[in-house]
Amino acid sequence: MSSATHVMPLRVRYVECDMQGRVFNAHYLTWVDMAHSEAVRDIAGGYDAMTEAGIDVVVAAAELSFRRPALFDDELVVEVRLAAPGNTSLRSEFAILRADELIAECVMTHVCVDTGTFGKSPWPAWLRDRLAEHA
């Protein structure tokens, strides 16, 4: 993946592996969520800055494709690439890599919501501008 907004390194922990010695599938979404949180921290000052401004995000969709198994003690990176924000949504693409080998890919759509009602809310101009700079 080129033009990554953020790159998060990680090492596979034993607890993340199943009886087959491979990373259990649900952990990939955890890693994607962690990488997204780090990207939001870099771009917007983190989720605290967003919630203090009265907005939050919820996951509307996630699509995960497995290419190769990740194994205990593998050194991986999760690359994040953002699309230009929509009115209320943000599409993010993730690549999980072991060196140059693609392990998994994920596409997530987050929706901006009001922290009081959890109803859809347009991105505030300050955040839309910051997200667009990283798209």
Q: Tell whether 102 is covered by a domain.
A: yes
What is the distance, to the nearest Å, from the Cα of residue 80 to the centroid of all Cα atoms in its chain? 6
Q: Which pair of structure tokens corresponds to residue 80?
A: 């994040």
Distance CA(49)–CA(106), nearest Å, equals 26
Domain CATH for 42 = 3.10.129.10
Q: Please say whether the beta carbons of 82 and 134 come within 8 A.
A: yes
Specify the pLDDT at position 3.
65
Q: Tell whether 23 is covered by a domain.
A: yes
pLDDT digits (tens, 9 = 90+) for 58-71: 999 999 999 999 99
Please count the residues of the chain: 135
Q: Tell whether 116 is covered by a domain.
A: yes
Q: Tell whether 78 is covered by a domain.
A: yes
Q: Which pair of structure tokens corresponds to residue 24?
A: 């259990």
Domain total of the chain = 1
Distance CA(52)–CA(68), nearest Å, equals 40
Distance CA(39)–CA(75), nearest Å, equals 20
Q: Which pair of structure tokens corresponds to residue 36?
A: 């997204």
Q: Tell whether 93 is covered by a domain.
A: yes
Q: Please say whether the beta carbons of 92 and 107 come within 8 A.
A: yes
Residue 114 DSSP one-character state: E
Q: Which mean pLDDT values do the consecutive 10-residue runs of the chain (135 residues) have?
A: 79 97 96 95 91 95 98 98 95 97 98 96 94 89
Question: Rounded to the nearest 5°, which phi and psi values hold at 129?
Answer: -60, -45
Q: Please say whether the beta carbons of 94 and 22 come within 8 A.
A: no
* Domain carrying residue 116: 6-133
Specify the pLDDT at position 5.
80
